[in-house]
A = this chain, B = another copy of it.
Amino acid sequence: MSDILLQNAMVLNIDPDGQRASVLREHDVLIGGQRIEAVLPTGQTDSSHFRTVIDATDKLVMPGMINTHAHVPMVIFRGLAEDVTIDKWFNDFIWPLESNLQAEDVYWGMQLGLAEMIESGVTSVADHYFYMDEAAQAVEKAGTRGLLAWAIFGSQGTGMIDRTAEFVRKWQSSAEGRIRTWLAPHAPYTCDDDFLRASAEMARKLGVGIHIHVSEEMGQTTASLAKRGKTPIEVIRDAGILDVPTILAHVCGALPQDIELLAKVPTGIAHAPKTYLKLAMDIAPVLAFRAAGIPVGLATDGAVSNNTMNLWESLRLLAMMQKDRAKTPEVMPIPQALHIATRESARVFGLADDLGAVEPGYLADVIVVDLNGVHHQPLHSVTASLVYNVQPSDVQTVIVNGKVVMRDRVLLTLDKAEIIAQVRASMARLAQRQTDKRIQSYNP
């Protein structure tokens, strides 16, 4: 007796080098335990041997999407900081709003954001926020996969590194292996060199990586060069951060010397283009990163800049903005965009051999996407539809770690009505904005 049979599906296949995307027709996907056992032409498999059989006729099976950088619980603040510069966004909105934050808000906010991600086919998230014990409890309950990191500031003192190391140890490999934990000094502009160095040392000691914001926009890079004579990337390199695996959020302000440097270290870049456009941060040079061999993964960032957790939108904007910046539609063609959305996001997430492909041996994090809606028809190109047409509501069924967490649009692990009621009850308190109570100052 095996676990799940996805029957008679189209199956997305992205070549490891990202040069080709194709679709197997009329195939079954066999899942046993946490992993994909086989992908076989339909008709060869006896469905009576499976506990759960899902008819995927005319539907697409593809890897669950991986969000490589988010602050999921920030969904509780969405819509509260619009049309303002990045300085005001931090100093007058985000950091005053976050002074309202309580552990319980993170617990419910994380569930709310995970519900939104499941509904849109996102099965994994690299999250970077506060009160991460509560975030981990939410991931445990949701049944999804998380690479969780507790965001800390230099102003909190190195004791906070020990506190988050405790979090790392407590939750590492928990929830049937779905939860992994890293460290998260916030950014070089909010952590001094000693704090960064101590964080890197702790990461080495724990055998984990670091998830950090760096060179988010060019203003940070030029400010760092003016103040320190080095770029933010060089600052974190000199503090030892780049000696451990890292996820670097944004890097829109990369100079050629940064790209050269990053090509030699075990890093990955999280790309969240909706945030960049909404805050006019310019667009990260993804083509240059990829040309240098630096993996790039898709990300939403938090919902106060994004304003959703819709990774399909990130995928679409990634492709379109690279075309815009290169001034030719020939760059970032569909197979490369899907390569980033699947295998490369898995690589940034640190699970290149386990996620990002529907192949035997890979973890069974897969989604079933319905391409029968009028907005896909007639379906001349499955892969074009994935990049340019899919709406989150097309995602029918979501499987993580071999377990169904959404079936036919019904969430099986989370109680949506309760989550929304809990979050709504705190709305007025969360929306209070007192600039004398900001948790940090933005002045890179």
Task: Name A's B-contacting residues (CB within 8 A).
Answer: 75-80, 82-86, 89, 112, 115-116, 119-120, 274, 277-280, 282-283, 306-310, 320-321, 323-324, 326-330, 332-334, 372-375, 377-381, 384-385, 388-389, 391-393, 416, 419-420, 423-424, 427, 430-431
Interface centre among A283, A310, A391, by most chain B C-beta atoms within 10 angstroms, is: A391
- Show 22 A/B contacts (Cβ-Cβ < 8 Å), sorted by A: A79-B384, A79-B385, A80-B380, A80-B381, A82-B384, A84-B330, A115-B374, A119-B373, A119-B374, A120-B375, A274-B320, A278-B388, A280-B323, A280-B329, A283-B324, A310-B391, A374-B416, A374-B420, A378-B427, A391-B392, A392-B393, A393-B393
Which residue of B82, B378, B419 contacts A424 across the interface (Cβ within 8 Å)?
B378
Residues of B contacting A274 in the complex (Cβ-Cβ under 8 angstroms): 320
Copies held by the complex: 2
Known: A82-B333, A279-B329. 10 other contacts (CB 8 A): A78-B378, A78-B380, A89-B329, A115-B374, A278-B329, A279-B323, A280-B326, A280-B327, A282-B324, A393-B393
Closest Cβ of chain B to A175, distance in Å, is: 21
Residues of B contacting A84 in the complex (Cβ-Cβ under 8 angstroms): 329-330
Given A84-B330, A333-B83, do A389 and B278 touch, yes or no (CB 8 Å)?
A: no
Q: By the criterion CB–CB under 8 Å, are A323 and B420 in contact?
A: no
Q: By the criterion CB–CB under 8 Å, are B379 and A321 in contact?
A: no
**Distance, CA A439 to CA B411, complexed state (A):** 50
Q: By the criterion CB–CB under 8 Å, are B86 and A308 in contact?
A: no
Residues of B contacting A416 in the complex (Cβ-Cβ under 8 angstroms): 374
Residues of B contacting A278 in the complex (Cβ-Cβ under 8 angstroms): 320, 323, 329, 388
Q: By the criterion CB–CB under 8 Å, are B377 and A112 in contact?
A: yes
Closest Cβ of chain B to A147, distance in Å, is: 22
Q: By the criterion CB–CB under 8 Å, are A307 and B389 in contact?
A: yes
Closest Cβ of chain B to A376, distance in Å, is: 8
Closest Cβ of chain B to A48, distance in Å, is: 32
Which residue of B78, B378, B392, B427 contacts A423 across the interface (Cβ within 8 Å)?
B378
**Distance, CA A310 to CA B381, complexed state (A):** 18
Residues of B contacting A389 in the complex (Cβ-Cβ under 8 angstroms): 78-79, 307-308
**Distance, CA A42 to CA B424, complexed state (A):** 23
Residues of B contacting A120 in the complex (Cβ-Cβ under 8 angstroms): 375
**Distance, CA A104 to CA B348, complexed state (A):** 49
